[in-house]
Structure 1
Amino acid sequence: MTETTLPRSTTGPRTGDGDPPPSPAADKAVLASRVRSRGILYQAEHTLRGMRAYAVVILTSSIAQPIMYILAMGLGLGVLVGDRADLTAYGAESYLMYIGPAILASTMAMSAGIEFTFPVMEKFKWRRIYYGAQASPLTPTQIASGHILAVCARFGVHGLVFTGVLVAVGATTSPWAWLQVFTAALGSLALGLPIMAYIASLRDEKGHAALIQRFIIMPLFLFSGTFYPLTNLPGALQLIGWFSPIWHANELGRVLAFGQPMSAGMATVHLGYLLVLAGAAWFWVRRIYIRRLGLAEWRGRTPGEKSRLKREARLEAKDLAAGPPAPGTPPVKVRSGLAGNYYSGNIRAVFSRGMSAIRNNRGVIFLSGFLEPVLFLTSFGLGISPMISGIEAADGGQMSYAAFIAPALLAVSAMNGAVFDSTWNVFFKLKITKLYQSMMATSLGPLDVAVGEILLALFRGGIYALGFLTVLVAADLVSPLSALVMLVAALFIAFGFAAVGMAVTSFMSRFQQMDWMMMVMMPMFLFSATLFPIDVYPSGVQWVIQALPLWHAVELMRDIAAFSFSTLTLVHIGYYLVMIAVGMTVATLRMRRLFLR
C-alpha cells in the first residue's frame, strides 16, 4: 500500500494532527520578504490605525470645514463684497465659486502643517515609534513613505468631502472639478514635505512647530490669493504668492473647478513647480530618515544648542561666584486653613519658573505672537479693500475695511494666544513632561499652579497685544487713548479664554484631542463678525452668533476703538467675568483631583 505524503506548510512544521496551528512568525524569511515588498503599506496601516484615536475629528473637520468656510467667507463676506468684485474675467460666476478651490487647497495645506510636525516629532522623540519599526525589516525609506501615504489618505478624505460640498451648492461648473483633490494634495505635499524633513532633523522640539505655523504656513495662506486675486496686492507682496505652493495649487484648482482662463504654458509652470518642489523635498526626507534610522543612528540637531550651553555656563559661573549655599534644610511650610488644600500663596514661583523657561527659549518664539494679526490685517486690508466700498460706522458714517477688522483681529489675537498657552503648553506639562505632578509634590497648591500658568499666558498675550496696537496706532487706525484701553481689554479677554482653556485641557488624555479646540475656535473666528458685519445673516443666526464668547470680545473692542459705550458693553464685560469664574473654579478642582487624591 502506497503512503500518501501531504505537503508541509511553508510557515512551519507540524508534528501531528493534534498540534496547534503554526505561529505566523515561524518562517521569518517569508515574513521578511513580505515586509520588503509591502513595507510602505504596513507603515501606512500603522499610521492610519493611530489616526483612529482622532478619526472623529478628521471626519468632522472634513465635513464641517467646507460648510463653515462656505457660509462665512463665500456667503458672509460674499454679501459684503456684492457685485463690486467682478470675477467674470476669472471665469467665476460668484465670489463663492472663486474662493472654493482655493479654500480646499489652503485647508489641506494647513492640515499638512499639522501632520508633518507633531506626529513626526512624536515618533522620533516622545514615543520613539519609528525605532520600533526600525527593529523590523522595514527600511527608513519605507517608514517615511508609509507616513506620507497615510497623510495622503487623510488628504483624500478631506478633499473628496470638500469637493462634494462645493458640487452640491453649485460652486463648480466643470466636470473636471474632482481632479482638484489631486492638485490640492500635491500642493500640500510640496509645502509639507520640506517641513517634515526639517522636523525630522531636530533632536528636540522647542517651539519650532509654532514658528513654522506663524512664519511659513500662515503668511503663505494669507498671501496666496485665496480670498482675492493675487494682483490686488502690491508687487512686493505678490512675490510671496509666486513662491507659495498654495498659490500654484489654488490656480490649478480654479482651472479644474470652473475653467479659469489659463494658457497651457502657465498650467505647466504651476504643475511643474509643485512636482519639482515635492520631489526634491521627498529626497531630503529620505536622506534625513536614513541618517536617523540607519545602521549608525544620527540623533539630529538642536538649533540654538551652542547658545544654550554658553548661557548655562554663565549661570554656573555666577552660582560659583556666589559661594556655597547656606547649610541646613529650609523649614517646611504646611498649608492650613479653609483653602489649605488649594492655595499656598506662592503663585510667584510658578510664574517665575515659566519666565525662566521663556528666557531659556529662543526669543523669536516669544516675540512672534503679534505677527499673526498683523498678517491678517495686511492681507485683508490690502486684498479685500479694493473689492469693498466701505463699512457703515456706528455714527452712520463710513469707515475703511481695515479700520473695521483691526479691533476684531486684536480680540482674535487675545483668544488665540490665551488658548494656545492654556491648552498645548498646559497639556505638554500635564501629560508629557509631568511637570505639574512635580510641582504638586511641593508646597504648591492647585490654585497656585492654575493662576500662575494663566498669568504667564496673560503676560505673553500682553506683549502680543502691545506689538499689534503699536502697528494700529502707527497706521492711524485707532487713537493712542483707545489703544491703551484696548490693551487692558485684551488682557481681560485673554484671562477668560485662558481660564476656560486650562479647565478643558485638564480633561484631555491625548494630544490629538487638541484638534477639538480648533473645531471650536475656527467657527468662532469665522462667524463672530470678525471680517464682516453680523447683519449679513438672518436674525435667527445672529442670536446664535451673539452667544459666542469671541463675538462679545470683538464688540467690546469695537466699542473701545470708537469710544462708543452702551448697556451692551456691560453685558460683554459680565460675560467674561462669568467665564473667568467658571474656568478658574473648574481648573482648580481638576488639578486637585488629578494630583491631590
Structure 2
Amino acid sequence: MTTVSRSTGQVPTWRRAVLLYIEAAWTWYRRNWRSTLVSSVLTPLFFLVAMGFGLGSRIQPSAATDGLPYAVYLAPAMLASAAVQNAAGESTFPVLSGFRWSRVFWGIASTPVTAAQIAAGQLLWIAARITFSGLAFVLVAALLGAVESPLILLSLVFSLLAGMAFAAPLVAYSATIDSEGQQFNAVFRFIVLPMTLIAGTFFPLTALPVWVQPLAWITPLWHGTELSRGVAFGTLDLWPALGHVAYLLALTLVGTALAARYFRRRLEK
C-alpha cells in the first residue's frame, strides 16, 4: 500500500483524506485480489453448495424453510454470514499489520492525514471489500439457482450493515494489540465460529435450546440474517426490521468511535 504524499502542501479535507486512503488500498488490492479470492468468495460459495445442494437435497421444503428449497432458504443467510466472516478477516491481521509489520499506518500518519481519518478509511475499505465479495456471491448463487428474486440485492445492503457492525468494534480492538496477533485465534474460535452456528444461518433459531437463543440475539449476524432473509423473501415486518437496523447501526457507530479513539492513541502519542 502506498502512503499519502505531502506534495500539495495542504491539509486534505476529511473526504479527500479518506478517498486517498481508499485509493491506496485499491492500488494494492487490484494487484493482489487473487490472494483473497478463496477466503472472501469461494469459501462461502462452497458452504452454499455443500449445505444448500448437498445436505439440502435431503431436506424437503417445509415451514422451517419458509416453504422454499433449502438452497434458496440458505442463500440470503449465507450472504450475511459471509459478510461477517469477511469483516472478521479484514478487521484483524490487516489492521495489526498496518501498525506492527508493514507499519503503513505510521507512514500515512506522518502526512497531513489524521489517525481518525486513517481509521475511517480502513472501515470504508472494509465496507467496499464486503460489498465486492457479496456481489460476487450473489452472482454465482443466482447462476446456481439459489436466488429466486432480485430482492436479494437488498439483502446485500443488510448484510453489509451486519458486517460493519462486527467490523467496527473489531478494528477498534485490533488497534489495541501490540503482539503477534495470538488474540485473534480466540476471536475466530470462540466468537466467529459459534456465532455462525447459532445465529440462524442454517436452521431457525427456535430449533436451539431456549437458553442458547439469547446468545444469538446479541450477535450482529443474527440481526443481519433476519434482515437479509426477510427482505429476500418479502416477509420482513417493519417494526422488527427497525429494531434490527437500530441495533446494527449502534454497534457500527460505537465501534467507529472507539476505532478513531484507539487509532489516535496509537498514532498520535
Q: Which TM-score applies when normalising by structure 2?
A: 0.90
Which of 212, 219, 230 lines up with 1:244 in the alignment?
A: 219
Residue 357 (structure 1) aligns with: none
1:48-67 correspondence to structure 2 within 5 Å = 48-52=26-30, 54-59=32-37, 61=39, 63-67=41-45
Amino acid of the structure 2 residue aligned with 1:161: A
Q: Distance in 1 between matches of 2:137 and 2:56?
A: 19
Residue 62 (structure 2) aligns with: 86
Residue 55 (structure 2) aligns with: 77
Which of 67, 72, 76 lines up with 1:97 in the alignment?
A: 72
Amino acid of the structure 2 residue aligned with 1:235: V
Q: Distance in 1 between matches of 2:123 and 2:13?
A: 17
**Residues 27 and 41 from structure 1, CA distance in 2 versus in 1: closer, same or farther, beyond 3 angstroms?**
closer
> Alignment length, in residue pairs?
265
Matched, 1:269 2:243: yes
Shift, 1:136, TM fit:
0.3
1:76-475 correspondence to structure 2 within 5 Å = 76-80=54-58, 82-83=59-60, 86-87=62-63, 91-259=66-234, 261-294=235-268, 297=269
- Give the share of equivalent positions with the same residue, in percent: 34
Residue 47 (structure 1) aligns with: 25
Contact 1:62 1:157 in 2 (8 A): no
Shift, 1:199, TM fit:
1.3
Contact 2:198 2:216 in 1 (8 A): yes
Amino acid of the structure 2 residue aligned with 1:273: Y
Shift, 1:206, TM fit:
4.8
Contact 2:123 2:167 in 1 (8 A): no
Contact 1:106 1:246 in 2 (8 A): yes
Secondary structure of 1:235 counterpart = coil
RMSD across aligned positions (CA): 2.1
Cα deviation digits, residues 273-309 of structure 1 (max 9, x gap): 1111111111111111111122xx1xxxxxxxxxxxx
Q: Distance in 1 between matches of 2:66 and 2:196?
A: 22
**Residues 117 and 69 from structure 1, CA distance in 2 versus in 1: closer, same or farther, beyond 3 angstroms?**
same
Shift, 1:25, TM fit:
6.5
Shift, 1:66, TM fit:
4.7
Amino acid of the structure 2 residue aligned with 1:268: L
Amino acid of the structure 2 residue aligned with 1:258: F
Secondary structure of 1:236 counterpart = coil
Amino acid of the structure 2 residue aligned with 1:277: L
Secondary structure of 2:111 counterpart = coil
Contact 1:35 1:137 in 2 (8 A): no
Shift, 1:194, TM fit:
1.0
Amino acid of the structure 2 residue aligned with 1:280: V
Shift, 1:61, TM fit:
4.9
**Residues 254 and 27 from structure 1, CA distance in 2 versus in 1: closer, same or farther, beyond 3 angstroms?**
closer
Q: Distance in 1 between matches of 2:237 and 2:6?
A: 57
Secondary structure of 1:43 counterpart = helix
**Residues 127 and 264 from structure 1, CA distance in 2 versus in 1: closer, same or farther, beyond 3 angstroms?**
same
Residue 369 (structure 1) aligns with: none
Shift, 1:188, TM fit:
0.8
Shift, 1:104, TM fit:
1.1
Contact 2:40 2:86 in 1 (8 A): no
Q: Distance in 1 between matches of 2:194 and 2:188?
A: 9
Q: Distance in 1 between matches of 2:209 and 2:259?
A: 35
**Residues 264 and 90 from structure 1, CA distance in 2 versus in 1: closer, same or farther, beyond 3 angstroms?**
farther
Larger Rg, first or second structure (1 or 2): 1
Shift, 1:52, TM fit:
3.9
Contact 1:122 1:128 in 2 (8 A): yes
1:533-572 correspondence to structure 2 within 5 Å = none
List runs of 5+ in structure 1 lacking aligned partners.
1-23, 298-597
**Residues 129 and 76 from structure 1, CA distance in 2 versus in 1: closer, same or farther, beyond 3 angstroms?**
same
Q: Distance in 2 between matches of 1:26 and 1:243?
A: 47
Amino acid of the structure 2 residue aligned with 1:284: L
Shift, 1:63, TM fit:
4.8
Larger RCO, structures 1/2 (Cα 8 Å, 6+ apart): 2
**Residues 219 and 266 from structure 1, CA distance in 2 versus in 1: closer, same or farther, beyond 3 angstroms?**
same
Q: Distance in 2 between matches of 1:26 and 1:96?
A: 53
Shift, 1:48, TM fit:
2.5
Q: Distance in 2 between matches of 1:157 and 1:111?
A: 11
Q: Distance in 2 between matches of 1:107 and 1:290?
A: 30
**Residues 220 and 127 from structure 1, CA distance in 2 versus in 1: closer, same or farther, beyond 3 angstroms?**
same
List runs of 5+ in structure 2 lacking aligned partners.
none
Cα deviation digits, residues 331-385 of structure 1 (max 9, x gap): xxxxxxxxxxxxxxxxxxxxxxxxxxxxxxxxxxxxxxxxxxxxxxxxxxxxxxx
Shift, 1:36, TM fit:
5.0
Cα deviation digits, residues 60-96 of structure 1 (max 9, x gap): 555533542232110111123x22x613x65351111
